[in-house]
Amino acid sequence: MSDAVKRLQAELEETLADLKAVEAQLEERPEFGLGTGSTGAFTWEMALARKEQLEEKIETLRELIARAEAGTYGICETCGKPIDPERLEAVPTATQCIDCARKHVRVA
């Protein structure tokens, strides 16, 4: 198993644990009406947003693990060149090389 896969799997496990914690938080759904603006409702909404983020991340990680197993992890989706290993270490979910990522998030 390559280091990249190990890293992705560790990240996936961590994210799954986070998701479990958030789900437990969501089960304690407070009683709240619309527009009450209570702290409980706010916290609950934050947890819900976090859950969606985590689910998205889990999906990305699973896709990346599949890619790593197929031997295409670390290849830029845009230009097909290998992504800098240092970048992958810092951002394991990167699917673009630094050059393409820069172009992608270019500030007008």
Q: Which residues bind Zn ion (CB under 5 A)?
A: 76, 78-79, 97, 100
Q: What's the closest the beta carbon of residue 94 comes to Zn ion, in angstroms?
A: 10
CB 99 within 8 A of CB 90: no
CB-nearer residue toward Zn ion: 60 or 78: 78
Which CB, 12 or 64, lies closer to Zn ion?
Answer: 64
C-alpha–C-alpha distance, residues 44 and 18, integer Å: 15
Backbone angles phi, psi at 58, to 5 degrees: -60, -40
By C-beta, is 66 or 79 nearer to Zn ion?
A: 79
Neighbouring-strand partners of residue 82? 75
Least distance from Zn ion to the Cβ atom of residue 93, Å = 15
CB of 84 to Zn ion, least distance (A): 10
Tally of CA atoms within 13 A in the half-sphere of 73 that contains its CB: 26
Of 68 and 97, nearer to Zn ion (C-beta) is 97
Longest dimension (CA), the chain: 53
The minimum distance between CB 98 and Zn ion, in angstroms, equals 8
